[in-house]
């Protein structure tokens, strides 16, 4: 990734930076509060002289120019809070302060990351992981989804991960694998541990597609919306499609009141921590590239057991690895059969722990 300080750039160097077609560009700028102050302290202002010696570039100037050259911002973050030495302050404490809304707006130094935007609908292989536990009652919904998958122009790989159900979910998945194997490659795993995160991990660990999708087997997210989200994700490897159930009115009884409130509070909290809007923090339907998957594998976050569902890990690591998070509104329905396989309060505490880990990190 090309990294530069805006205050060292000339006009030609700034334009050339975007003309070089780097995949990622990181640019540091002075915060809007500090930019005039630093110039005044150097007497580098029209107040004191006929012309200035350094460029006056702020965050919004950079964002505007980047768009002209077909770059999209991933996000910006506070890099340095003050020009004063802070070596005696613990790094974890500085990381927390850099994420506080009012404080980060007044930061001395900001960093913004851009990625080169390209929209190429690729015909590469798509891997769809479907975790399933005690979902025998949703067999018809699963058959409907598999039939609709036939309309996807790309080659598909379907990976069922069965979570040691108390009903005949495994037998149903085995039957569907036999019935639909002529249309796409289908794998069926039986989970070696517990929890949705582990199921998703085990599924993707044997996947081979360039686009990776997670779809819950209760199919409470509209399957047509899920397919549309998958196709959008094939256009660029530097994006994460985060499906959002809370944008439009959902079907009655689709989400319990406490779950809804918890989800909204977590969405606000995550948005603050990564400085990027997150509409729905816990929607199971997410789509991303193999490139992003490899980054999570390399830094160990993918195999972490702290996150019970994997949703927070994916969102935080997208921000951490400069992957653009795009919220995709979907229709959300009540369960047709069975009950959610979650423990609301215990899992909520685990999610708070995940937030704390990233809050004190240099994300």
- The last residue of a domain, from among 54, 83, 116: 116
pLDDT score of 221 more than 70: yes
Looking at residue 119, its pLDDT comes to: 75
Are 143 and 17 within one domain? Answer: no
Average pLDDT, the chain: 93
User: How large is the average pLDDT for residues 242-252?
Assistant: 95
Q: Same domain for 328 and 208?
A: yes
- Judged by DSSP in three states, 158 sits in strand
Write down the pTM of the prediction. 0.92
Q: Which domain CATH number covers 304?
A: 3.90.550.10
**Do 65 and 173 lie in a common domain?**
no
pLDDT of 258 higher than 80 = yes
Four-CA torsion 350, 306, 279, 211, nearest 10 degrees: -150
- CA 126, 314, 108: angle at the middle one, nearest 5? 130
150/48 same-domain check? no
In a domain, 186, yes or no: yes
pLDDT at 320: 96
Predicted confidence (pLDDT) per residue in 83-127, tens digit: 998 989 999 999 999 999 999 999 999 999 999 998 776 789 999
103 and 145 share one domain: no
Work out the average pLDDT over 152-176.
96
Q: How many structural domains compose the chain?
A: 2
Asked if residue 150 and residue 253 are part of one domain, the reply reads yes
Domain assignment of residue 343, yes or no: yes
Q: What pLDDT, on the 0 to 100 scale, is given for residue 303? A: 87
Looking at the domain assignment, is residue 88 inside a domain?
Answer: yes
% of the chain exceeding 90 in pLDDT: 81
Name the CA radius of gyration of the chain, rounded. Answer: 23
Residue 191 belongs to some domain of the structure: yes
In a domain, 274, yes or no: yes
- Domain shared by 9 and 92, yes or no: yes
Q: How confident is the model at residue 55 (pLDDT cuts 50, 70, 90)?
A: confident
Q: What is the mean pLDDT of residues 51-62?
A: 81
More confident position, 38 or 97: 97
Q: How many CB atoms lie within 10 A of CB 177?
A: 16
**Residue located via tokens 């795009």:** 326
Please provide residue 361's backbone torsions phi and psi, each rounded to the nearest 5 degrees: -90, 170
Residues 254 and 315 in one domain: yes
240, 305: one domain: yes
Residue 326 confidence class, pLDDT cut points 50, 70, 90: very high
- Is residue 245, in this structure, part of any structural domain at all? yes
Same-domain status, 90 and 175: no
Shared domain check, 222 and 89: no
Does the residue 121 lie in any domain?
no
For 81-135, give the DSSP string: S-SS--TTS-HHHHHHHTTSHHHHHT-SEEEEEEEE---------EEEEEEESS-
Last residue of a domain, one of 116, 139, 159: 116
Write down the pLDDT at residue 213: 98
Task: Supply the DSSP symbol for 309.
Answer: S
Rounded Cα distance, 359 and 49, in Å: 44
Placement of tokens 């972490």 in the chain? 304
Highest mean pLDDT among 29-33, 40-44, 348-352: 348-352
Decide: 130 and 207 in contact? Cβ < 8 Å: no
Last residue of a domain, one of 48, 81, 116: 116
Query: Which of 6-20, 42-56, 71-85, 93-107 comes out lowest in average pLDDT?
Result: 42-56
The average pLDDT across 43-48 equals 72
On whether both 42 and 99 belong to a single domain, the answer is yes
Segments in the chain forming alpha helices (H): 11-19, 34-41, 59-68, 91-97, 101-105, 139-149, 169-180, 196-205, 223-233, 257-274, 290-299, 311-320, 344-359
Instruction: Identify the pLDDT of residue 121.
Output: 66
pLDDT > 80? residue 48: no
Question: By percentage, how much of the chain surpasses pLDDT 70?
Answer: 99
Q: How many angstroms separate the CA atoms of 330 and 220, rounded?
A: 10
Cα distance between residue 291 and residue 154, in whole Å? 18
Compute the distance between CA of residue 225 and CA of residue 332 in angstroms, rounded to an integer.
Answer: 10
Containing structural domain, residue 233: 126-359
pLDDT at 342 over 80: no
């Amino acid at each position: 990734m090309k990294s530069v300080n805006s205050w060292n750039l000339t006009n030609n160097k700034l334009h050339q930076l975007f003309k070089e077609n780097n995949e990622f560009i990181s640019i540091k700028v002075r915060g809007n509060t500090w930019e005039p102050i630093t110039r005044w302290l150097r007497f580098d202002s029209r107040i004191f002289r006929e012309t200035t010696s350094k460029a006056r570039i702020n965050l919004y100037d950079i964002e505007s120019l980047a768009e002209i050259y077909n770059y999209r911002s991933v996000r910006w973050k506070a890099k340095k809070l003050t020009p004063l030495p802070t070596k005696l302050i613990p790094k974890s404490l500085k990381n927390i302060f850099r994420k506080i809304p009012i404080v980060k707006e007044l930061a001395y130094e900001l960093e913004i990351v851009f990625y080169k935007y390209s929209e190429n609908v690729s015909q590469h292989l798509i891997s769809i992981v479907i975790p399933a536990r005690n979902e025998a009652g949703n067999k018809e919904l699963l058959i409907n989804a598999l039939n609709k998958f036939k309309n996807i122009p790309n080659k598909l790989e379907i990976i069922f991960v069965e979570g040691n159900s108390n009903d005949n979910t495994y037998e149903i998945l085995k039957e569907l694998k036999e019935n639909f194997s002529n249309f796409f490659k289908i794998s069926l795993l039986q989970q070696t541990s517990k929890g949705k995160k582990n199921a998703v991990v085990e599924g993707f660990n044997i996947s081979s597609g360039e686009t990776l999708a997670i779809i819950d087997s209760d199919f409470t997210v509209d399957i047509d919306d899920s397919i549309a989200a998958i196709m959008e994700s094939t256009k660029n490897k530097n994006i994460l499609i985060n499906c959002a159930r809370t944008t439009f009115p959902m079907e009655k009884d689709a989400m319990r009141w406490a779950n809804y409130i918890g989800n909204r509070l977590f969405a606000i909290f995550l948005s603050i921590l990564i400085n990027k809007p997150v509409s729905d923090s816990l929607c199971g339907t997410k789509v991303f590239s193999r490139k992003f998957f490899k980054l999570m594998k390399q830094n160990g976050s993918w195999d972490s057991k702290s996150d019970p569902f994997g949703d927070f890990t994916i969102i935080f690591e997208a921000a951490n690895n400069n992957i653009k998070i795009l919220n995709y509104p979907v229709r959300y329905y009540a369960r047709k059969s069975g009950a959610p396989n979650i423990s609301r309060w215990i899992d909520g505490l685990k999610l708070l722990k995940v937030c704390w880990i990233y809050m004190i990190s240099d994300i």
